[in-house]
C-alpha cells in the first residue's frame, strides 16, 4: 500500500491517484503546516478521487470538537491523527470514534525511542491504522520531518501489533525498498522526498518521483 502526501489541488490529487497511489493525503489546516489547504478544497479533492483512491485528511489538533468539525467539513475516508505525542490520548480516541462512527482512524506514532513501542501498543486496539513517523521540532505534530528514524524500532512495532502499519519518515525512491525489507510494513508513505520545491517557497508533487517511489515500493514487496 502506498500513501502520498500532500495534495494541494484537485488536478494534482487526480494525477497522483491515476498513477496508482492507494491513499492520497491532505492537510486541511490554517496553522502554517507544509502544504496545508482549506477544508473546502480538501472536500473537493475527496470527491474528485472517490473511486480512484482512498482520501486521508490529517489533523494536528488536540480539541475533539475541532477535529470533528474538520472531518464533517472535509469528509475524508480516513482521519489521520498526528498531533503531539499523547495529546489525543487513547481515551480521547475512543470518544472521537463514538462521535465519528463512520470514519476510519490512522494514529501517528512518533518513533523517537523505545517508548514508541509502548505508545503503538496502547493505540493499536483502538484504531484502523498506525503510521510510524519522524518528528521535526520546528513542525507541529508528528510527521513532515523528511528524516529517517530507527527502522529497528518500527520493525518491532510491526511485530507487536495486530493492525496495519504504515511506515513514514524520510522515505524516498532511493530508500523505500530497503525500508520495506527492514520493517515489513503494510504500507509506506512519502511527503518530503516526492516533492518538487518551488521558487519562492512551497512545493508541488513531482509526478516522476511519485511514479519512481511507487515502482520501487511495489518492487520491494509493498502491498
Tell me the three state secondary structure of residue 217. helix
Residue 125 sits in which domain range?
2-219
Q: What CATH number did the domain enclosing 39 receive?
A: 3.20.20.70
Q: Which set of grid coordinates corresponds to residue 45?
A: 479533492
**Per-residue pLDDT tens over the stretch 17-46:** 999 999 999 999 998 888 999 999 999 999
Predicted TM-score (pTM) of the model is: 0.94
Cell of 55: 482520501
- Bigger pLDDT: 199 vs 155: 155
Q: Which residues pair with 110 in a beta bridge?
A: 133
**Quick one: CA dihedral 107, 111, 115, 120, positive or negative?**
positive
Local confidence band at 138 (pLDDT 50, 70, 90 cut-offs): confident
Q: How confident is the model at residue 143 (pLDDT cuts 50, 70, 90)?
A: confident
Considering its fold, how many domains does the chain have in total? 1
pLDDT at residue 223 tops 60:
no
What does the pLDDT read at residue 220?
A: 52
Distance CA 157, CA 178 (A): 17
Amino acid at each position: 500500500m502506498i500513501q502520498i502526501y500532500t495534495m494541494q489541488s484537485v488536478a494534482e490529487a487526480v494525477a497522483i491517484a491515476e498513477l496508482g497511489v492507494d491513499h492520497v493525503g491532505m492537510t486541511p489546516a490554517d496553522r502554517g503546516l507544509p502544504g496545508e489547504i482549506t477544508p473546502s478544497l480538501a472536500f473537493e479533492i475527496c470527491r474528485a478521487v472517490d473511486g480512484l483512491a482512498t482520501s486521508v485528511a490529517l489533523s494536528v489538533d488536540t480539541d475533539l470538537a475541532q477535529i470533528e468539525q474538520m472531518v464533517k467539513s472535509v469528509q475524508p475516508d480516513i482521519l489521520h491523527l498526528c498531533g503531539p505525542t499523547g495529546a489525543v490520548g487513547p481515551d480521547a480516541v475512543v470518544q472521537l470514534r463514538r462521535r465519528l462512527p463512520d470514519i476510519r482512524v490512522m494514529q501517528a506514532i512518533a518513533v523517537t525511542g523505545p517508548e514508541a513501542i509502548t505508545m503503538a501498543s496502547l493505540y493499536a486496539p483502538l484504531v484502523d491504522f498506525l503510521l510510524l513517523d519522524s518528528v521535526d521540532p520546528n513542525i507541529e505534530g508528528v510527521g513532515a520531518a523528511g528524516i529517517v528514524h530507527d527502522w529497528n524500532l518500527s520493525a518491532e512495532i510491526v511485530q507487536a501489533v495486530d493492525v496495519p502499519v504504515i511506515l513514514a519518515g524520510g522515505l524516498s525512491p532511493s530508500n523505500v525498498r530497503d525500508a520495506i525489507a527492514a520493517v515489513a510494513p503494510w504500507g509506506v508513505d512519502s511527503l518530503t522526498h516526492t516533492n518538487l520545491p518551488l521558487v519562492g517557497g512551497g512545493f508541488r508533487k513531482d509526478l516522476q518521483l511519485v511514479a519512481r517511489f511507487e515502482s520501487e515500493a511495489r518492487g520491494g514487496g509493498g502491498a
